[in-house]
Structure 1
Amino acid sequence: MVGDEIAMGPGKADLLDNIAKTGSIAAAGRAMGMSYKRAWDLVEQMNRSFTEKLVETSKGGAGRGGAVVTAFGEEVVRQYRSAVLTATRAADEEAQKLLVRTKSD
């Protein structure tokens, strides 16, 4: 969290992956079933939340504009996915400890 905004989450990480694939905020949003405005708002939130931009955009009209995920953005996604994996593994380990204490049928 940065203020009232969530800096990174699963949907934002997926949006960044889709921007990297398509080179477009609009196309990335469409691929995820969201409006261009929603995708743009999420990109703006992420860019405000971190010390460097995660997405760089270029203006240019039809067929000439675009978006790229910065190297910093790629690193943020990598770190986020690593943190999720670490947390999931830890939760699974704790759940297994509980299972050995449950009654079997």
Structure 2
Amino acid sequence: MLSRMADTAKTKPAPAKKSAKARPEVRFRMRIRNAGAVALGPGKVDLLEAVREYGSISAAARSLDMSYRRAWLLIDELNRSLKSPATHSEQGGQSGGGCTLTPVGETIIRLYRDVEEQAQRSCAKQIAELTRLIRR
């Protein structure tokens, strides 16, 4: 289920179909707040994954149906909240610039997705009980 969640994070969700067999979707949305701001959360991790895949903030933003400005502000806010930046950007020019993840950025993705996976596994029984209460 988590790999499906990671895959669908990069695309717009399909409209919900009314079906007797539709299963509720369970998603963990961990956020780390610092000084009132979200230093790290699901949107920033999704954006880091898109930057890793596409090699630029603008392409990552397009893949997430987000404006370049919004993506740039999220990356900037994330980098300012960390001891070391998660991304490294090259200025545009003949080669067009780009953005890559630093080892810190790679570590953030790995740890964040590990937490989601462990939470899903350790709460599987409670999740199953809760989803049985949902009308389908």
Q: Which residue of 1 aligns with 2:4?
A: none
* TM-score normalised by length of structure 2: 0.65
Rounded to whole Å, the distance in 2 between the matches of 1:74 and 1:53 is 11
Equivalent-residue separation in structure 1 for 2:120 and 2:37 (angstroms): 23
Larger proportion of helix: 1
Unaligned runs of 5+ in 2: 1-32
Q: Evaluate the alpha carbon distance shift between residue 95 and residue 21 of structure 1 in structure 2; reply closer, same or farther with a 3 A threshold.
A: closer
Aligned length, in residue pairs: 99
Match among 88, 93, 100 for residue 120 of structure 2: 88
1:53/1:72 contact within 8 Å kept: yes
* Map of 2:88 onto structure 1: 56
Decide which structure has the larger Cα Rg and report it: 1
Q: 1:24 maps to what in 2? A: 56
1:65 is aligned to 2:97: yes
CA distance in 1, matches of 2:127, 2:75: 35
Give the secondary structure class of the aligned counterpart of 1:48.
helix
Q: Aligned-residue CA RMSD in angstroms? A: 1.9
Structure 1 residues 63 and 85: alpha-carbon distance in aligned structure 2, compared to 1, 3 A threshold: same
**1:23-76 superposed Cα distances (whole Å, 9 cap, x missing partner):** 100010001000000000110111011111001111133643111011111011
Residues 89 and 30 (structure 1), Cα distance of their counterparts in 2 relative to 1, 3 Å cut: same
